[in-house]
Structure 1
């Protein structure tokens, strides 16, 4: 079976919007932020998943409740009704009108409109898998996890229809083994600290492509002291040198680039000739 995301990435780099596109009064990980990301030209929306106390799956980054919601309680300790009553805070920490959405709501809202990257897949694999199947989204998602035995065994035994990309740090020592297993492997998310790291090499990207696999890179910055892609970041791109940020990643041949700035990155990629005009 040919994955439709591979077909899309075979034509051009895909733009992945990290937690949507948050700005002004629109917080990250809300349906509004994902809608904004699509309007900016994103192909993929990256989401975080947190389960509530009674099993409902919510689109929320674990542990960020004090910052994003202004509360000291955590969603895993709350009922679905309690979570539904919450509202996000904006960048000024002022309450907004935006609720914490469920994974069911997100799938229904964006089904067939974009690909969905499921971060934190390892937190509740059976429940997320059931939700993906319930909404017939298996061709439209990417499950992400570290290549831990628990996750790989689950995918092989119970989630062989779920597209998967492991997080790979600096050197890839898992892909060859994964190709031998009954896992729907899309490729790898490459994390590297230096241009000289093996997963940042032309040879690695070319070898993955020869296997029919994709390589995902990150321009996002969680912590400026520990960047994801050897300094080829959104920060560099947005403050004056997009060629050293997004351009470097695109020239390297990465199939998917994750960003917090989907609109400017897409504009740059088009102007630089990495995307078709128009």
Structure 2
């Protein structure tokens, strides 16, 4: 069982899913394609239909402190104009139409956190990501949905400020710190006795550091009753260099090569219990073929 014994009632759905499956499939921003737009209710529904156990999503605050389902800095692609969501109030923002995957205007408007929460399938888990600057606001908004506590997982930067906030917050959401180096890992491990509902750990590992990705490394995480999360995502490049999230193992290697050698299968073989992908249907097929 993952997480502390005192939080098992909250973590019940997460643990039940992991008892039934070798690992859980997280769908990055939901499944977005053609007229299905990322981080929308439709993207969430389609992700579940295609086999995802978890939807990873993002929130951004508006000027009037509402939360909308937008990844920070995606305004140019989603609205086909240069705007800043955080400088607009919700009414202004919802007067705009979203643009789809082929760059055409749609009749769709940005989803609010409230609308999103009202439409979560009962058997789906949600990862809330990208909340570096507004974690207190996210917690306050999610507190309005106590009946969905067992579905909500929050990914956080492993900062002292975040850990102090989570320890003092009365509602104990499932928490997944994002660790990028040894200091992040050490700082998180010093907090494990705090009143925080840690259930997992996202490891972001560049290819040049992938030698640390051993069974012993992940066993250390398991020993603390945490479920490791690995990313298969291909997020593009920066300065001519591919952005690497889990060594050399990623979605593209899985789709066009042998996933058991260079992709999802290798991630799963290390004992990772959540794999984040843009291709949930294909990952589900691999999971059924090799692991179930």
Scaled to the shorter chain, the TM-score interval is over 0.9
Give the aligned partner of residue 257 of structure 1.
Answer: 275
Q: Distance in 2 between matches of 1:174 and 1:6?
A: 25
Q: Distance in 2 between matches of 1:247 and 1:97?
A: 39
Alignment of 1:99 onto 2:83: no
Segment of structure 1 superposing worse, 127-136 or 182-191? 127-136
Give the aligned partner of residue 167 of structure 1.
Answer: 178
Matching of residues 1-278 of structure 1 within 5 Å: 1-2=7-8, 3-4=11-12, 5-11=14-20, 12-110=22-120, 112-136=122-146, 137-158=148-169, 161-171=172-182, 172-194=185-207, 197=210, 200-224=213-237, 225-243=242-260, 244-272=262-290, 274-275=291-292
- How many residues are matched? 274
Q: Distance in 1 between matches of 2:269 and 2:69?
A: 33
Deviations 1:125-169 (A, max 9, x none): 222112222112222111112111221111111255121111111
Q: Is the 8 A contact 1:41 1:266 kept in 2?
A: yes
Deviations 1:12-47 (A, max 9, x none): 200000000011221211111111101001010011
TM-score, normalised with respect to structure 2: 0.88
Q: Distance in 1 between matches of 2:50 and 2:172?
A: 30
Deviations 1:212-257 (A, max 9, x none): 1110000001135121111210011112322221110111110000
Task: For structure 2, list consecutive stretches of 5 or more residues without a partner in the other structure.
Answer: 1-6
Q: Displacement, 1:120? A: 1.8
Q: Is the 8 A contact 1:52 1:58 kept in 2?
A: yes
Q: Distance in 2 between matches of 1:199 and 1:119?
A: 25
TM-score, normalised with respect to structure 1: 0.93
Q: Distance in 2 between matches of 1:160 and 1:203?
A: 33
Q: Displacement, 1:7? A: 3.4
Q: Distance in 2 between matches of 1:107 and 1:113?
A: 13
Q: Distance in 1 between matches of 2:268 and 2:66?
A: 38
Task: For structure 1, list consecutive stretches of 5 or more residues without a partner in the other structure.
Answer: none
